[in-house]
Every structure is written in C-alpha cells, then in structure tokens.
Amino acid sequence: METQIKTTTDSWQLLERSIIYYGDRPVGTVAASDPSVEALNYDQCFVRDFVSSALVFLLNGRADIVRNFLIETLALQSSDKQMDYSHAGRGLMPASFKVMNEGSHHYLVADFGEHAIGRVTPVDSCLWWLIVLRAYVKATGDLDLAYQPDFQQGIVWILKLCLADRFDMYPTILVPDGAFMIDRRMGVDGHPLEIQALFYAALQSAREMLLPGYKRDIYLEVINQRLGALSYHLRQYYWLDLKRLNNIYRYRSEEFGTSAINKFNIYPDSIPEWVHDWMPEQGGYLVGNLSPARMDFRFFALGNLMAIMSSLVTAQEAQLIMSLIEQRWQDLVGHMPMKICYPAIADQEWKILTGCDPKNVPWSYHNGGNWPVLLWFLVGAAIKTGRMELAQRAMEIAERRLADDGWPEYYDGRYGRLVGKASRKYQTWTIAGFLLAKSMLENPEQADLISFREDPGTLDWLYKLQEF
C-alpha cells in the first residue's frame, strides 16, 4: 500500500512538472521529459497526448489548464496554415504546438504535420478536441465557453471538414496512412477503425455543444443521419465473431447487384491463418479496416475500446469484446496493458507495409507494441461493461512496473516484457493515463466524463436503414 501511495504521489509530481506555460497561463503538457535523450518534438504539447492529462486535470480541480488549452488550440485552428505549396483545410487542428519566447514576446507555433515524420497531417486532433470540449463542459458546467461565437464557429468548421462530400460512398472518414495515433506507415489507410470510433464520439460531442437555434437544427439532422449510418455500417461490416468468420470463410466472390452478400468482395483465401484458432467461441471485435477486396483482421485496441465507451457497438457486442480481451489476455495485455494492435506484421509483409521501418519491427512501437496509455481506455471500457475484475487486474500489472521502469512510452516483445528500445521515459500520457485509470477505478462514475449513452436519435436512423 505504501508503494502504491508513493507511486501515485510521484506520478502527480511528474505530471505537474510537465505543464507548459504561455506567459503565466498553463496551456498544456509536454509529450515527455526524458532527461537522457534529446527532446526533439517531445517538448511540444500534442493534442492527442494531452487528452489523458486533460481528463486528469478536470477530475482534480484543474479545469483552468483545460480551458486555456481549448482556447489556444482553437485560435491555432483559425490561424494561417500555409504549408509549402498547399493550404491546410479550415477546421484542421494542429498535431502539436510549442511556446516560443523571444525576450518579453511569447507566441505559439503549431505543427499541422509539415514538420512530422512523413509529413502526415493529423486527422484525429480535431476529433479529440471536440471530445475534450465536451468533457470540460460535463466536468465544469461551463457551457458558456462552448457557446461563445468563436467556439461555435470552430465546431462548425470541424463538422464541415469531416462531413464534406468526397469521392466516397461510405459514412466512414477516408484518411491517409499514419494520420492518427498510429502515425507511421502501417497499412491502415482508408477507413481505419480508430478514426471511425473517434469520429462517432466527436459527432456526439458536437451535437451536445452546438448552440440551440436554426443552424444547430440543420447540423443536428445531418449529424443524426451520419451517426445512424456510421453505426449501422460498422456494426454490419466491421464486426467479427466466430459466426461471421464462418460466413466469410464460405463467401462467394464476384457478386453483383443489390442482392450480393459479399458486398466488399472479400476473398476467403485472404483470411489469415492465425484468426482461425485465435477467435474464441464467445467473443468478438471490430476489425481494423475494410475496403474493396480487403479486410484487415488485426485487433486494434484503441478503436475497439473507444467503440465501447462511445456506444458505437451494442451492449452485447461490448461484452463480447471484453470477453475476447479476457480470453486472449496474454496476447493483448501480457506484462503491460495494452497492445496497440495484434498480431504484429512480420517478414515480407512487414517490408511491404511499413517500408522496412526500423522502429516498427515486429512486436515494437506501433507494430504490436504495448502502450501503457491504453490502460485508461481499458479501465474505462471495463467500467462501462461492468467488468471491474479486468480493470483491477490491468491496474495491478501497471502498478508493479511503470514507476520502476521510468514511465516509458511503450514496451517491446510479444508479451510486452521489455521497455521499448527507442521508448522515451517519463512520457506524460503514460503518467496521466495511470493516474486517470486509478482515479476511475476508485470512483467509477468518473468514467462518464468520456462515455456516451446509446442515443434514441441514432437508433431511429438505424431502424430506418435496417428497414431499407
């Protein structure tokens, strides 16, 4: 018990030391404070990384930091974003920002992907921003902030960016490879599950934050329609359990017309060998991606856990996902919660999909590495599904290792036994994720800050689609 108290106290001190100040105002947290290596861009505040810190601050009376973060990132959204020969879309949120000081002059410099490895623009930043705004309002009751004209404009810009008509038939968002947490080439381009789950939660957040009135009514209709179509699409085509696997195994291909069962022309021979034995009798999950003639059968943790918390999946499906995690605990959790995707890609497939990325070797980094920040997502999903024993089991693993290992960014190995070879230590979202998971475990009602109930409006659209 004394060790646990010391770990919590030390982690709070580390989180406090990670806070970034803009003048005399706290506006975010640095990505990592590892004194043993060069900072590079880890001294910046990343929007996706700050989410864990934001929720911890909201639960512990430090809402001012989150408020300042929302205000400053909103200002960066509408600033000039000229990049080389192109212009970033209005509504885009930066991947990260940094405070620059020149004498008495302070200003923020944002990175919209033009400095990132691979120069990939982040798709998830604007989605996370909406989710954080909604959490801030739920925690503080400060709806006046969301109703300010600049915030309403920012929400509308994000909606226009995400809901724009494109060369696409599906209700999902089409994104490039490496445009979210998995920010390196990993063959997740197209319609990756993580972005669709975040999109679903972000649309629900926007719906709650829009100011009542004519404009809100217009967007409400569009949002509800998209939520219903998105939910139907993912539940219908991304869901995989043993029954569905058997159906795919017996699919006929090259079907044409409205009566086609194999609508995406998935070839049964494309089912990986590992799936046959890995899928339990009672369990299931949302696959990582889907496109014509291609189903990515990998299990992606963040997308599935966010699908539970956002009510993208049904209550029954949520239980089946948690059952799969329980039955495949060694593979998906192992020695550190939790593996970002399973299984790792290797050999020739690794060379082709990653471009021979030396950081993404099998069972490392985003190619099957274990990421402690996913602890709080696992705990949140376990709380929502009433699987408290899984949350407690995961927390005990984290408490045994994280502090002694120096709060690393990720772990390597098939079961997450090794601290990542290129892993930064004193990673802020690892620290914040631990504190958040521990706090939610002690006070399960806190999980409501990031959870969503299944909405009757969305269900109405689902019923319409099913009838159609």
What residue spans define the domains of the chain? 2-467
* Residue keyed to tokens 């159906």: 247
Tell the burial category of 338 from Cβ atoms under 10 Å away from its Cβ (0-12, 13-18, 19+).
buried
> How high is the mean pLDDT of the chain?
92
- State the average pLDDT over residues 120-128: 93
CA 325 – CA 200 distance, rounded (Å): 22
CA 407 – CA 398 distance, rounded (Å): 10
9 or 138, higher pLDDT: 138
* Residue keyed to tokens 């509504």: 91
pLDDT tens digit string along 4-61?
A: 656 778 899 999 999 999 999 999 999 999 888 888 889 999 999 999 999 999 999 9
Residues 6+ apart with CB under 8 A from 29: 15, 18, 19, 20, 45, 49, 50, 53, 428, 432
Answer for the pair 153, 144: CB distance below 8 angstroms, yes or no.
no
Answer for the pair 135, 58: CB distance below 8 angstroms, yes or no.
yes
Backbone angles phi, psi at 132, to 5 degrees: -65, -40
**What does the pLDDT read at residue 468?**
42
State pTM to two decimals: 0.94
* Residue keyed to tokens 């892993």: 423
- Could you report how far apart the first and last alpha carbons of the chain are, in Å? 58
Given a cut of 80, whether residue 157 has pLDDT beyond it is yes
Lowest-pLDDT choice from 87-101, 150-164, 248-262: 87-101
- Expressed in percent and rounded to 5, the helix, strand and coil fractions of the chain are 50, 15, 35
Answer for the pair 332, 338: CB distance below 8 angstroms, yes or no.
yes
Answer for the pair 13, 426: CB distance below 8 angstroms, yes or no.
no
DSSP states along 168-186: --SSSPPB-TT-SSS-S-S
Instruction: Check residue 210 and give left, alpha or beta (phi > 0: left; psi -120 to 50: alpha).
Output: beta
102 or 210, higher pLDDT: 210
**What does the pLDDT read at residue 379?**
98
CA 53 – CA 45 distance, rounded (Å): 11
| CATH code for the part of the protein at 2-467 | 1.50.10.10
Amino acid identity at 446: Q
**What does the pLDDT read at residue 81?**
55
CA 69 – CA 50 distance, rounded (Å): 9
Residue 45: enclosing H or E segment and its boundaries? strand 45-46
CA angle 25, 31, 33 (to 5 degrees): 95
Backbone angles phi, psi at 11, to 5 degrees: -65, -35
Given a cut of 60, whether residue 85 has pLDDT beyond it is no
User: Which whole-number Å values give the CA distances from 66 to 5, 15, 27, 145, 229, in the listed order?
Assistant: 26, 14, 7, 12, 32
169 or 274, higher pLDDT: 274
- Burial track 292-315 (b if 16+ CB lie within 10 A, e otherwise): eeebbbbbbbbbbbbbbbbbbbee
DSSP states along 326-358: HHTHHHHTTTSS-BSEES---HHHHHHHHSS-S
**What does the pLDDT read at residue 1?**
58
Residues 6+ apart with CB under 8 A from 39: none
Amino acid identity at 2: E
Lowest-pLDDT choice from 67-81, 177-191, 357-371, 379-393: 67-81
**What does the pLDDT read at residue 120?**
82
Sign of CA dihedral 109, 115, 121, 125: negative
DSSP state of 459: H
pLDDT tens digit string along 190-206?
A: 999 999 999 999 999 99
**What does the pLDDT read at residue 335?**
98
CA 346 – CA 348 distance, rounded (Å): 6
Both structure tokens of 266: 């998935």
Answer for the pair 78, 94: CB distance below 8 angstroms, yes or no.
no
CA 458 – CA 400 distance, rounded (Å): 42
Both structure tokens of 99: 């405070």
354 or 1, higher pLDDT: 354
- State the average pLDDT over residues 129-147: 98
* Residue keyed to tokens 């879309």: 89
Both structure tokens of 382: 């376990």
Given a cut of 70, whether residue 381 has pLDDT beyond it is yes
